[in-house]
Amino acid sequence: MAARSRFAASSNLLLSNISHVDGEGYGFFAFSLKSFYTLEYILTSILLGLASFGVLPNVANIIVFAKMGFAETINIMFCVLSVADLVYLSVSIIATIAIKLNSESIQTVFIDIYDLTLIMNPWTWASFGLGSCATALIAVERSVCIALPLKVKRIFTRKRVSAAIIFFFGLTLANLVQSYATMNLQWVTIPGTNQTGLVMNYTAYFQQMIVIAMFAFSVVPSLTSFIVVSVGTVFLVVKLNQSAQWRKSSTVDVKKIGVSNKEVKVIRSAVLVCIVFIVCFTPNVCLVATMVIQPRLHIADIYFGPLMYILFYIAYIFQSISSSFNIFIYLKTSSRYRETFMLMFCRAPKK
């Protein structure tokens, strides 16, 4: 009965919050429903465009790395990163299309926007966590490659890297199973109309488990990976600059460099991927940090809900940029990737 009355009265927690803000003139930002819809339309269009653009490049990445083989551990990690990006972009496309249809009242089966966000969020958290861990593993492996060039292949063997990837996938699966096992959706019908919709039955246990799942499987891995990637990237940049200076010296002993030209190119590719990750993931880190410091900064809050909704869209747009444009880094920095890509998709290698 609670779910039925909630659906009939509002059908949308977020828009209900905006209506209160608009009608009474209170809240963090008192912007009208029309302004919210306009801004939402712009942001969802940008997100949908970026996500749609990024799907094919990530599919191409997976195919190319599989063709190149997984004898080198870096190919395994880049391939896993592409899989995580593909999952995130696919979920973004589904969610944004559903929200657009919902906002424009095109569909016959209504799903609350906030409920839809909760339903899709586990996949977003899972892809965030998996992609972050893969990027952190890339940064660590390349850092060890520079610090201990003669031991890196003994430390990062295929079995160990595969075991780490399986562990990351296990965390992802645990997130999905735990999240969906605690969800309770109900079909309700608005009295006097033929409109039927799905709404979430919000129990105290469900809300508690959602918070635990978000922090355990997304926030903690992502923030930890962000710190690891940031430190590793700084280390790689410093070492690359030192390597470049050594190579310019005519008196340098080649053994002091320890890293081949091929490895330097791979490191540069990894550095660029890590830099893109850091830049594009910073908005997410800032949002999570503010939510931890001030719990009221949440999408369900009557004052801050609309603002947080928009800020999360902006953060997802940055994440979509990171997930969509890695292919250009690979094409620019890896001659082997470029040749394989050209042979598979352009029929002739680039001269």
Of the chain, the percentage scoring pLDDT greater than 70 comes to 69
pTM equals: 0.79
Residue 25 falls inside a structural domain: no
Q: What is the predicted pLDDT for the residue at 1?
A: 40
Distance CA 231, CA 267 (A): 15
Residue 170 falls inside a structural domain: yes
Instruction: Look at residues 285, 163, 147 and name the one whose alpha carbon lies nearest to residue 226.
Output: 285
Q: What is the predicted pLDDT for the residue at 304?
A: 76
Residue 211 falls inside a structural domain: yes
Q: How confident is the model at residue 221 (pLDDT cuts 50, 70, 90)?
A: confident
User: 3-state SS of the chain: helix, strand, coil percent to 5?
Assistant: 75, 5, 20
Model confidence over 320-333: pLDDT tens digits?
999 999 999 999 88
Dig out the tokens for 216 from the structure.
């355990």
Domain containing residue 260: CATH number:
1.20.1070.10
The mean per-residue pLDDT over the stretch 197-219 comes to 69
Q: Which of 72-86, 126-140, 290-304 is predicted least confidently?
A: 290-304
Residue 46 falls inside a structural domain: yes
- pLDDT surpassing 60 at residue 72: yes
**Cα 29–chain centre separation:** 27
Higher pLDDT, 289 or 92: 92
Specify the number of domains making up the chain: 1
What are the residues whose beta carbons fall under 8 Å from the beta carbon of 321, sequence distance 6 or more?
50, 276, 280
Distance CA 263, CA 256 (A): 15
Residue 162 falls inside a structural domain: yes
- pLDDT surpassing 60 at residue 299: yes
Instruction: Look at residues 132, 141, 114 and name the one whose alpha carbon lies nearest to residue 175.
Output: 132
Instruction: Look at residues 72, 85, 93 and name the one whose alpha carbon lies nearest to residue 135.
Output: 85
Distance CA 307, CA 36 (A): 10
Residue 95 falls inside a structural domain: yes
Residue 26 falls inside a structural domain: no
- Whether the CA torsion 141, 144, 145, 148 is positive or negative: it is negative
Mean pLDDT over the full length of the chain: 77
Q: What is the predicted pLDDT for the residue at 327?
A: 92
Long-range contacts of 38-47 (CB under 8 A, 24+ apart): 39/310, 40/99, 40/103, 40/309, 40/310, 40/313, 41/100, 41/103, 43/310, 43/313, 43/314, 43/317, 44/96, 44/99, 44/100, 44/313, 46/317, 47/92, 47/96, 47/313, 47/316, 47/317, 47/320
Structural domain boundaries enclosing 62: 2-19+32-345
Residue 350 falls inside a structural domain: no
Q: What is the predicted pLDDT for the residue at 26?
A: 40
